[in-house]
A and B are shown apart, each in its own frame.
Chain A
Amino acid sequence: AQSVTQPDIHITVSEGASLELRCNYSYGATPYLFWYVQSPGQGLQLLLKYFSGDTLVQGIKGFEAEFKRSQSSFNLRKPSVHWSDAAEYFCAVGPNQAGTALIFGKGTTLSVSS
């Protein structure tokens, strides 16, 4: 079955510290992988995506993610967290096929302490 697992429900990081949010997926074919961020009461903003090529992907707001096929993982990282990064983060997977919906993980809530 196709699924996305985000093992950490809630993470608290000190401002200025590094961050890694975990994402594992189960998918039969070559997946397209995404990370989205959602602030309270808001829609989703795309942070970055992986389709093919370089397995280290750079996104907006200083985020990056690394696709590791052998581990079926697509972890999100940021070297120095800012208080404004506090939000809900969703990992998603989709097929390399147009017209097919994404499958989302349950999300990780990031809190940033001062």
Chain B
Amino acid sequence: GAVVSQHPSRVICKSGTSVKIECRSLDFQATTMFWYRQFPKQSLMLMATSNEGSKATYEQGVEKDKFLINHASLTLSTLTVTSAHPEDSSFYICSASSGGVNYEQYFGPGTRLTVT
């Protein structure tokens, strides 16, 4: 089956610094990638949708200048949390879709971000 990886799996950073999370589709080309955020004991909330080669579409309430998304190739999307604050601590999950008639999203294993 299709595999999506995320790196790092866990990161701790200091308040005010920036951190980059990578999402890679390992065995297929992902025309669309999605970034979700999950708070403890909560569901997944869509942050943004990114299509290869174009600007990401952010959901209402998500600061695009704080959460920078780049989808530079068909196998890689990155999420950069800029000037991180403790309230940005969360579990970030990406998913990738290759499109097609019966499209399906394949989820990465997630990245646990802790901002101290």
Interface of A with B (CB < 8 Å)? Answer: 32, 36, 41-46, 49, 51, 90, 94, 97-102, 104-107, 109
Contacts and interface: CB of A to CB of B under 8 A. Distances in A.
B43 A98 contact: no
Interface stretch (B14-22, B61-69, B81-89, B100-108): B100-108
A36 B107 contact: yes
Contacts of B97: 98-99
Given A104-B44, A105-B43, A98 B107 contact: no
Given A101-B34, A102-B105, A43 B110 contact: yes
B114 to A, nearest CB: 12
Contact of B108 (A43, A46, A51, A109): A43
A64 B9 CA distance: 31
B66 to A, nearest CB: 20
Interface string B35-72: 00000011110100101000000000000000000000
A106 B109 contact: no
A74 to B, nearest CB: 16
Interface of A, helix, strand, loop or mixed by DSSP: loop
A98 B112 contact: no
A44 B102 contact: no
A46 B3 CA distance: 12
A90 B102 contact: no
Contact of B93 (A43, A49, A98, A107): A43
Contacts of B102: 32, 51
A98 B95 CA distance: 13
Nearest to A97: B103
Nearest to B111: A43
Given A43-B107, A43-B108, A100-B49, 15 more contacts: A32-B102, A41-B110, A41-B112, A42-B110, A43-B109, A44-B93, A44-B107, A49-B104, A97-B103, A98-B31, A98-B32, A101-B34, A101-B49, A104-B44, A107-B43
